[in-house]
Amino acid sequence: MVEMKATRDGYGEGLVALGEKNPQVVVLSADLTNSTRASMFKKRFPERFFTMGVAEADMIGTAGGLSLVGKIPFCCTLGVFASGRVWDQVRVTICYSNLNVKIGGSHGGISVGADGATHQSIEEITLMRVLPNMKVVVPCDAIETRKATIQAGEVSGPVYIRFGRSPVPIITTKDTPFILGKAITMRKGKDVAIFACGIMVYEALEAAKELDKKGISAGVINLHTVKPIDEEIIFKAAKETGAIVTAEEHQLSGGFGSAVTEVTVKQYPVPVEMVGIKDHFGKSGSPQELIQDFGLTRFDIIKAVEKVLKRKG
């Protein structure tokens, strides 16, 4: 059995680790302190923690002001509110001015389940990567989220970190190297390269195991940083395998798969198949039901691989 842990726990741990290293780090929460695990920072550094109430727009603006006097603020709420709700505040106050503000969006994807469409965050990658100066990270497990959070606090400029609510498999270790902007090859393969982020990295690894039994050699790349994207690894995979599959727990339009294909078309326009949500809102249901309903399982990845291999010709 693989060990399970929610990526939001990694975020909370990362905030505390950062807080210990750097007294300039401050955390703001829009009435979702436990949900986002900002509570861990609050407990350790109550004097550097601010409850902002249910007022996300105000939280973003206040964080901008704090950054102008040298603080490194982290804004915490659910992904839907952290990206879409305050998009104009993030665009104008934070990104246009290139302020050193970090945004932690929890409950990314549909795995939040029963709360339904209003709370399922499936557009953040699109919304955030379109903004100049913004960096976008979608870590695959709690350990990686901890590292991503720490590095977000160490690089300058706005960073959006997407993480989730449900416990998910731990697939990296403390020693797995993590550098923002540098993808990680989790498994080598020569027939096809599967690019994934977030919880889909695990699904991709499971899919690759199944494909191996069918005699198909599939590589798996953990492309945790969607922006700035690791072009080199994408070019290399496209050149070497000649076929790409992308997998994201997110809307396909303008999302992770789109980001990958924007790169491939520049040099190696190989066939690409994308696994993700196909222009639907979320809905209430158990996470497992929804993952199946929206076609986000390892089996969907396997189907996509089989399809792309036919197109490879």
Ligand X SMILES: Cc1ncc(C[n+]2csc(CCOP(=O)(O)OP(=O)(O)O)c2C)c(N)n1
Catalytic machinery residues: 56
At which residue do the structure tokens 């106050």 appear?
93
Binding track, positions 64-103, relative to ligand X; x by CB under 6 A: -----------------x---x------------------
CA-derived radius of gyration, the chain: 19
Binds ligand X by CB under 6 A, chosen from 9, 24, 31, 312: 31
Binding track, positions 40-59, relative to ligand X; x by CB under 6 A: --------------x-x---
Reply yes or no: is the peptide bond before residue 228 cis, omega within 30 of 0: yes
Please state the separation of Cα 182 from the chain's center in Å: 14
Total length of the chain: 313
Q: Is 165 in the site for another protein (CB under 8 A)?
A: no
For 109, 174, 182, 275, 283, the CA distances from 35, given in Å and listed in that order, are: 15, 24, 29, 28, 20
Tell which positions 89-148 bind another protein, by CB under 8 A.
Answer: 113-119
The answer to whether 127 and 101 have CB atoms below 8 angstroms apart is no
* Residue 91 binds: one of another protein, ligand X, none (C-beta under 5 to 8 A by kind): none
Largest CA distance in the chain: 62
Binding track, positions 265-284, relative to another protein; x by CB under 8 A: ----------------x-xx
Binds another protein by CB under 8 A, chosen from 5, 9, 24, 31: 31
**Which phi and psi angles does 115 have, rounded to 5°?**
-60, -20
Q: Is 48 in the site for another protein (CB under 8 A)?
A: no
Best CA proximity match to 288, nearest among 181, 166, 201, 193 = 166
Scanning 46-54, 90-98, 243-251, 268-276 for contacts with another protein by CB under 8 A, the matching segment is 46-54
The contact set with another protein (CB under 8 A) reads 29, 31-34, 51-55, 57-58, 80-81, 85, 113-119, 281, 283-286, 289-290, 293
The contact set with ligand X (CB under 6 A) reads 30-32, 54, 56, 81, 85
